[in-house]
Amino acid sequence: MCEFTVYLLEDNSESKTEIAKEIFAAMSKDGDTLLMNITGNAQIVKGAFIEEVSTLKQELILRRTPYI
């Protein structure tokens, strides 16, 4: 099974912060992103969208933009 490490980019920054490991599912819901890990626990990342997914690197990159 492919599990991802999830990184978050804030606004226009290119500096990424690791926020989760062993994530196997991600979905957008109402402007947020829901992450599920291998134990079934869910984590919501408010105001973030999926910017990039790499199965080769096993990385999922989210970007959070400020609410206007």
Full residue range of the structural domain in which residue 53 is found: 4-64
User: DSSP code of 11?
Assistant: T
Q: What is the pLDDT of residue 26?
A: 96
Mean pLDDT of 38-57: 94
Number of structural domains in the chain: 1
Q: What is the pLDDT of residue 67?
A: 63
Torsion of CA 13, 15, 21, 27, to 10 degrees: 20
Residue with tokens 């919501």: 44
Which carries the bigger pLDDT value, residue 29 or residue 33? 33
For all residues of the chain together, what is the average pLDDT? 91
pTM: 0.88
Q: What is the pLDDT of residue 18?
A: 97
Whether 65 shows a pLDDT value over 90: the answer reads no
